[in-house]
Structure formats: C-alpha cells, structure tokens
Amino acid sequence: MTKLVLVRHGQSEWNLQNRFTGWVDGDLTKKGKREAKLGGKLLAQEGLRFDEAYTSYLTRAVRTLWIALRGLDQCYIPVTKDWRLNERHYGGLTGLNKQEMRDKHGDEQVHIWRRSYDIPPPLIGPEHEYHPANDPRYAGIDPAVLPGGESLKLTLERVLPYFETEIAPKIKAGQTLLISAHGNSLRALLKQLFNVPDAKIPGYEVPTGNPLLIELEDGTLNVTGARYLDDSRAKPLPPIT
C-alpha cells in the first residue's frame, strides 16, 4: 500500500480578510501557522516517513510545508516547488472582498465565479498589477502560458499534466509523497484520483491545514482509502470507485 498526503495551506491573510487571493503571495496568519503545526503533529502521530514533498510558488503553501516538515523532523527530504501547483488565478476579482462582490453583483454571479467548473472570472492582461507576467518569480516562464484568470477547468488543465508526468510515476514506484498546495489545485488532484465528474468537483471543499491521507494500491493510482487526520474539521470526500 502506497500513501499520499495532500494538505491545503493554513489560513492566509487574505482568507481572513475574505478577499479573492489566487496568485497573490499572502502569508499565513497566526491561525494558519497553528493549523500547519497541528498538521505536522498529526502526520507525526501517523508515523509517516516521506520520500519527497511538492508545493507551489506561493508563500502560504511553502510555509505550511516547512512548518509541517519541522514538526515531523523531516526537513531534510527533497522539496520541489512548481508554479503549476499554484492556486486558481482569480483574474479581475483578485484582491476584491467576496461579500462586497456579492452585494454588487449578487450571490448567484459570485457563486458562478467561485464554484462553476468552466466559467472563468473576468480576465486581466499583462499590463495589470496582478498578472503573473509582472512577478519576478515567473520570469523564466513563457508569458504565453501564464494565466490572467482561470476557471476550475483551466486550473485542472495545468495541474494534471504536471501531476501525471512528475508526481504520479513516483507514487506508482511506491514513494510516500506530501503535497502542500491550494484549494483548487488540490481539487484537481481529487478529481483525478477519485474520478469525480466535472459537475460534482466544485462541491468538494478542502479544509485548511488538515492533512488528507490517501492510500493507494501498490503500483497504481487506485485509491483504496482516504481520511482527514483531524476529524473535527473534516469535509466530505468523494466516494472511492
């Protein structure tokens, strides 16, 4: 049996402020750091030994990983950061308050922007301050592939090829991996691993800082079991097919 752990970063500064965050590089709040520390403690209680870890380019996910690995006394393991594990890009909604957007555009429109599968938010161009082409951490990446806004579908289309080429082979080889990422990039992985239909995947919420332990059949990506380590903050999981 092979094990894979997915963890969404702890509460971030803009989570607390109820703002659309996306690719903006906010840090963890004090609560977020506590969540990450608890996640590391829960992983240690499981006796897990990781071969490698993966995270995004965004500080809140990177710091969550650091805190968890420190709690595990496993800071020595190889860590790979990749922009394709970043959160969904919220385009023209980035930085805006979600409740203010509901007041202005209505609950239904904001729900579509947040939870529809294939409808993106208003897009932004390379001249916008929140476009990744203006962020030095993406300087080595072809600007043509950097998003100015993404639906969940578009997020999946960048996350899943990376997962399939870089991460999945290591899982099939029996490595125990830890991925610290974001609500929507982790939804992409849930969709793939649990074979969730397009229409249902937006309904699955990944709680912050609560490690999801997934058990897989050796040599495959077939899920045999899955559970959140903190029962008190668990969310429903897709059925195992």
pLDDT digits (tens, 9 = 90+) for 19-32: 999 999 999 999 99
| pLDDT exceeds cutoff 90 at 152 | yes
- Domain borders along the chain are 2-233
Mean residue pLDDT across the chain = 95
State mean pLDDT over 178-205. Answer: 95
| pLDDT exceeds cutoff 90 at 72 | yes
217-225 long-range contacts, CB within 8 A, separation 24+ = 217/1, 217/2, 218/1, 218/2, 218/174, 219/2, 219/172, 219/174, 220/172, 221/168, 221/171, 221/172, 221/192, 221/193, 223/193, 223/194, 224/1
| pLDDT exceeds cutoff 90 at 58 | yes
Q: Which helix (H) or strand (E) holds 191?
A: helix 183-194
| pLDDT exceeds cutoff 90 at 116 | no
State mean pLDDT over 70-94. Answer: 97
pLDDT at 112 (0 to 100) = 83
pLDDT at 80 (0 to 100) = 98
pLDDT at 110 (0 to 100) = 84
Residue for token digits 């125990």?
176
What pairs with residue 52 in β-bridges? 177
d(CA 32, CA 39) in angstroms, rounded, equals 10
Catalytic option among 35, 87, 131, 182: 87
d(CA 181, CA 56) in angstroms, rounded, equals 6
High-pLDDT (> 70) share of the chain, %: 100
State mean pLDDT over 201-228. Answer: 96
| pLDDT exceeds cutoff 90 at 153 | yes
pLDDT digits (tens, 9 = 90+) for 206-215: 999 999 999 9
| pLDDT exceeds cutoff 90 at 105 | no
In CATH terms, the fold of domain 2-233 is Rossmann fold (3.40.50)
d(CA 179, CA 160) in angstroms, rounded, equals 13
pLDDT at 241 (0 to 100) = 79
Answer yes or no: 9 catalytic. yes
- State whether the Cα torsion 94-100-103-107 is positive or negative: positive
State mean pLDDT over 87-114. Answer: 90
